[in-house]
Structure 1
């Protein structure tokens, strides 16, 4: 049922990353289309539903899939396979009850919540439209946690792609149909895409589960344990792991809620009108933050794959394997997060202008771009700490970061000289603090040593080379294309610079011997062929 090789967690992460990339591309497509149809103000209304939704969603489901993945991996490693299956059954039942209850609470309390938070009253329909998604996503999360516990990432990957495709199609269709009737109805149509998307993702998981049911049951029934353990005891075990994870996961939507409450209000304090403040909030939350979160799909996937992989090694007391997996995950996180941060900072204006037609969003993006690396490190280190059972530590550290974020956000956003930059700076600082606190505890719990050459010197060298190229090539290329009156010179030049900058960064890392054979070989489709070719020409060992 699962691969035993020490790099299997990277393979699982690669599968999730490929699916996540496809999902993020679709997510970008619908965000670009929506922004062009309803503008920053309409996206601001759409985004106002999300902090409320994500907070309640976290309460209903966040801890269960991670706790489930850890418990199942742990039980299988200890050859308690029957108990592993019963753990899934109990978790699924819990997800159903909690998800349904929270969905109903959100729908009933939508208007009071909007009044309590002093939000734009037009956001009511968006909040109401998204509320049923909590119930569907909660059940879907239990199935994803089950498959991830078996270290089978394919079902989760497929469900992510189907979920996002259905969501994208529904959102665009409803926004086009409802936009003529008002921004509030268009925002509600966009929000309802979360419901249909989750429904599509759940259906594919149910199909895979029932198709593989005999094989799964046959594997899980071979354990030497009995199933005498009571459901209540399993539920308590899930809760003991899941509650701290849920509290930690609550911090992110709470940070978004703080942004939602503080940013529009503090911008008005700085002298902006209500619609101007809503538009600026839309630029930050619906343009800058999605661009920042896009590269972190790799670390989200690493984190999801790390929990069962670290839990398995921890259960078997294989300290060297834990250190290997920790070092590999953190090294890959830095190699991905660092160039993404620098690239978004250097090309903030053309990226926001070309993709979203909102060049004003380049202002917050330049400040929050540095958050990519810190968000990535925080996600990966959280996966490691969850894997060794220290679920309360990342929750506490993220809460400390959130406090700093709230203070900076509240203080700086009201100062005209900072404005929306204050919100971006608060987000970056909050994640930086959480990431460094997490890394301290990862070192303490796993005993890994920071590889200065691999994790700092070589990536920085490659980044410097890449940055010099970007600065020189961008204006040179634009002058050449403009001189010859090339249509869409601005757009073509930007994408060419991004492509060649990525290529130069990759080649520099190859020359520095920092790309390993297994880093490439586990990548889906072409990874092994590329790794074999590069080994043949002696660029990797």
Structure 2
């Protein structure tokens, strides 16, 4: 495959991932309007354990299979990649079925843990059990897609993955919104029934994505068989050796990718009980839980996704530079990665923190006081989400993935130990503080490890961080002043007022920050290699 085709394929995959994430973010607004925070909490009770079990069932398979297939194709052995796909479909069917059984039959245990069986208000245990069991069906299909996507990517074909992800997301969202509306507003059904069918959208979306992949497979079958016929060697790897190599690639990727779902699983198990022990009602606990794990989380993941997407594209360079012992290139690439992350996430987090009330009021229109309080405290954690994801990837590129696993384990232990304690001390924001503490610990370990193993000099990064912080502070002061004045004229008592205040304030903040960054030359130094006009 030519470099031009490879670049085009990578752009297609990046665009597909971005569109998938954007759709996954945008649907939360109409869905919240339909089901409220109580419905969002019930949705999370099913979706969070599903996400963790899905990750365990697939074990980072797409990237691992991609790396495996690409390696043996480069050696002229196309037989081994196709053998992996054929046997892998059987293995993924088995692991998916086991994960399905595990989630289906643990539904009552999970539901009784997160909800009070004697609760007379809010969601019931029966609703949670139904929701968890409905979403478990998706585990029968999604693992199959994982290995097929990895196989196509290993053959430098990014289109099948990108298109199937987008179709999967579209089918899922359409299913969720239409079924929820019909059950609640046409057939006058119960909220628990609507949420149960909403999470079943994961299964419907998976079928749509799998259909796309099978279509691509049929279309390209002849070409794939021709590649096999051109093989110059067949390593004839035993299945045991093949899967040991695959797991060696997959396990670190899987564990680090589980970071946010594992943190949210800890909240699933401890947040509501700790809140009720602190004197909050079941309904109050569920409202804060929905804001923490769904609405506010979706908002802070916007800058995280953008920053990590822009920085991760230069991470393959890390592996090459570290392997070739090119110290200068390694230092330069790590520095560039840090700069991108800080340049984008610090002002975004600061803006979300200062505009928490109009942002929550404009986008979700209900439970503004509770939601804005969570968002205000949660926004700074976005910086640590992004820095952890990128530093973990840097360590993987340097073949030091064990340090990333150690740092994640340390952060999770902090979260487990302090989550309930902090909620008892600080109320619902305590869950945020425990996540902040855990990620801070993990990031510190990763930063130290990169400095130690790559002999990385952090002086320039510290200088850039100081610049970004100063410009972000100026932006925050201007934004706060404008927002404060606008809220005197248009109090955030309606969604329209919230949108007006938010739109004007965000626009002013962006203008101030980018103006400072452009005139000082910071924008050119950080992003000039991507956008040449910033160097002018």
**Which residue does the alignment assign to 1:526?**
none
Q: Distance in 1 between matches of 2:199 and 2:316?
A: 32
Change (3 A) 1:38 1:141: same
Q: Distance in 1 between matches of 2:172 and 2:59?
A: 20
How is 1:12-411 mapped onto 2 (pairs within 5 angstroms)?
A: 18-75=15-72, 83-84=80-81, 86-115=83-112, 120-121=124-125, 122-149=127-154, 153-179=158-184, 180-213=188-221, 225-301=233-309, 305=313, 310-311=318-319, 321-357=329-365, 358-359=367-368, 360-411=370-421
TM-score, scaled to structure 1: 0.85
Contact (CA 8 Å) 1:13, 1:305: kept in 2 or not? no
Give the superposition deviation at 1:286. 1.8
- Kindly report the root-mean-square deviation, in angstroms, between the aligned alpha carbons of the 2 structures: 3.4
Aligned length: 520
Correspondence for 1:465 among 466, 474, 480: 474
3-state DSSP class of the match of 1:177?
helix
3-state DSSP class of the match of 1:296?
helix
Q: Distance in 2 between matches of 1:343 and 1:15?
A: 31
Q: Distance in 1 between matches of 2:168 and 2:32?
A: 21
1:412 corresponds to 2:422: yes
TM-score, scaled to structure 2: 0.85
Contact (CA 8 Å) 1:454, 1:514: kept in 2 or not? no
- In structure 2, stretches of 5+ residues that fail to align are 117-123
Change (3 A) 1:311 1:433: same
Q: Distance in 2 between matches of 1:233 and 1:487?
A: 58
Q: Distance in 1 between matches of 2:312 and 2:143?
A: 17
Contact (CA 8 Å) 1:255, 1:402: kept in 2 or not? yes
Contact (CA 8 Å) 1:345, 1:369: kept in 2 or not? yes
Post-superposition Cα deviations, 1:318-354, rounded to whole Å, max 9, x if no partner, equal 6655544433333222222212211110111111111
Change (3 A) 1:419 1:453: closer
Give the superposition deviation at 1:428. 1.6
Q: Distance in 2 between matches of 1:207 and 1:139?
A: 14
**Which residue does the alignment assign to 2:505?**
497
Post-superposition Cα deviations, 1:186-215, rounded to whole Å, max 9, x if no partner, equal 211221121122222333333344444555
Change (3 A) 1:59 1:279: same
Post-superposition Cα deviations, 1:289-320, rounded to whole Å, max 9, x if no partner, equal 12122322235545875676655666666665
**Which residue does the alignment assign to 2:3?**
3
- In structure 1, stretches of 5+ residues that fail to align are 523-530
Change (3 A) 1:172 1:301: same
1 or 2 for the larger relative contact order (CA 8 Å, sep ≥6)? Answer: 1
Contact (CA 8 Å) 1:13, 1:304: kept in 2 or not? no
Correspondence for 2:523 among 495, 512, 515: 515
Post-superposition Cα deviations, 1:209-257, rounded to whole Å, max 9, x if no partner, equal 4444555666687675433222321111112332344344445333212
3-state DSSP class of the match of 1:449?
coil
Q: Distance in 1 between matches of 2:13 and 2:346?
A: 21
